């Protein structure tokens, strides 16, 4: 059996160009399986590309092995409660993994080299002029390829030591950190559900929600602020690599073995200092 790695360096990020380029790479690979790093550009186009090339595709693959002359892939189902191992008879089988896992998966296999995506030279009627955040306008705060996930919780809206809320200051601290760090923004359900916070936190919506009823991102590092860190939150963090949290409560859920490092302190003061250092 032949397993190859897809080199996606030539992708343009424009759907109309990436689909035929990926389809050509898959069709010309002459491989039983192709492992593909799941960047945002890949995830947009890989389904249509595999269909054009007559291949089958599975996403969110966490492990690939060979057993009994077959290729066996693993991925989580049912909100990451069931880990399944499965195989397919199709040739070619496209396996999309998290970019952070691609090297590890490829290193554990006997691969037959890389498949290069051809540079698209055909003109397209599609022109990408920018990315707009859902319902908010301006720059998108969701960045799947970012190394850091920054999650804000409802604690940012609570009364502070002076007995008053400081939503303007909270919004400025969060946006300032995102701008300087290039991090992707996540939110707890309790924060995006707050109508009183919607006007000040107009840069986030339910699309940013991370957790049991939200998304399960796969960033290399994560920083949680003003979140209690109980099970609904942690479900969304299970694929985040290094976990850190800032919370005033030394007994919060993050401190109970769910985070690698917990900073016990005021998130307003901590993030103000971090922004100054950045």
Q: Report in angstroms the alpha-carbon separations of 266 from 226, 229, 230, 269, 272.
A: 9, 16, 19, 5, 10
Is pLDDT at 134 greater than 90 in this prediction? Answer: no
Please state, in angstroms and rounded to a whole number, the distance separating the CA atoms of residues 45 and 50: 9
pLDDT of residue 135: 46
Confidence tier at 186 by pLDDT (50, 70, 90): very high
Domain with CATH 3.40.50.1220 in the chain: 148-277
To the question of domain 148-277 being in CATH 3.40.50.1220, the answer is yes
Neighbours of 30 (CB within 10 A): 11
pLDDT tens by residue, 42-69: 999 999 999 999 999 999 999 999 988 8
Note the pTM of the prediction, 2 decimals.
0.56
Is pLDDT at 131 greater than 80 in this prediction? Answer: no
Mean pLDDT value of segment 166-188: 93
pLDDT of residue 26: 95
Confidence tier at 96 by pLDDT (50, 70, 90): very high
Q: Which of 216, 171, 222, 235 is nearest to 197 (CA)?
A: 171
- CB neighbours of 160 closer than 8 A, spacing ≥ 6? 166, 266, 268
Neighbours of 230 (CB within 10 A): 15
pLDDT of residue 181: 93
Residue 203, CB-side half-sphere exposure with 13 Å CA sphere: 21
- The CATH code of the domain at 3-116 is 3.40.50.620
Is pLDDT at 137 greater than 50 in this prediction? Answer: no
Task: Give 144: exposed, middle or buried? Use CB within 10 Å, 0-12, 13-18, 19+.
Answer: middle
Any bridge partners for residue 56, and if so which? 93
Lowest mean pLDDT segment, chosen from 41-55, 83-97, 130-144, 218-232:
130-144
% the chain with pLDDT above 70: 93
User: In this predicted model, which residue has the larger pLDDT, 113 or 26?
Assistant: 26
Confidence tier at 136 by pLDDT (50, 70, 90): very low
pLDDT tens by residue, 219-246: 999 999 998 888 877 888 889 999 999 9
Q: Which of 108, 140, 278, 115 is nearest to 207 (CA)?
A: 140
- 3-class DSSP assignment, residue 79: coil
Mean pLDDT across the chain? 89
**Ramachandran sector of residue 55 (left: φ over 0; alpha: ψ -120 to 50; beta: rest):** beta
């Amino acid at each position: 059996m032949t397993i190859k790695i897809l080199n996606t360096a030539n992708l343009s990020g424009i759907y109309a160009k990436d689909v035929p380029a990926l389809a050509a790479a898959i069709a010309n690979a002459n491989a039983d399986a192709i492992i593909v790093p799941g960047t945002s550009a890949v995830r947009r186009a890989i389904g249509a590309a595999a269909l054009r090339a007559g291949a089958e595709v599975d996403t969110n693959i966490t492990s690939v092995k060979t057993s009994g002359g077959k290729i066996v892939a693993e991925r989580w189902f049912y909100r990451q409660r069931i880990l399944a191992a499965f195989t397919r008879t199709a040739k070619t089988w496209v396996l999309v993994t998290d970019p952070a896992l691609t090297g590890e998966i490829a290193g554990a296999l006997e691969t037959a080299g890389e498949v290069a995506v051809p540079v698209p030279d055909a003109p397209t009627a599609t022109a990408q002029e920018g990315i707009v955040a859902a319902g908010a306008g301006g720059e998108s705060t969701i960045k799947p390829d970012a190394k850091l996930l920054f999650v804000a919780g409802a604690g940012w809206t609570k009364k502070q030591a002076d007995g008053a809320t400081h939503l303007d200051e909270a919004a400025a601290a969060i946006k300032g950190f995102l701008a300087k760090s290039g991090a992707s923004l996540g939110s707890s359900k309790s924060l995006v559900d707050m109508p009183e916070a919607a006007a000040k936190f107009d840069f986030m919506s339910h699309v940013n929600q991370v957790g049991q009823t939200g998304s399960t991102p796969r960033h290399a590092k994560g920083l949680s602020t003003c979140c209690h860190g109980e099970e609904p939150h942690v479900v969304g963090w299970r694929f985040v690599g290094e976990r850190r949290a800032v919370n005033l409560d030394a007994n919060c859920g993050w401190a109970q073995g769910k985070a690698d490092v917990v900073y016990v302190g005021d998130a307003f003061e901590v993030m103000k200092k971090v922004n100054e250092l950045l």
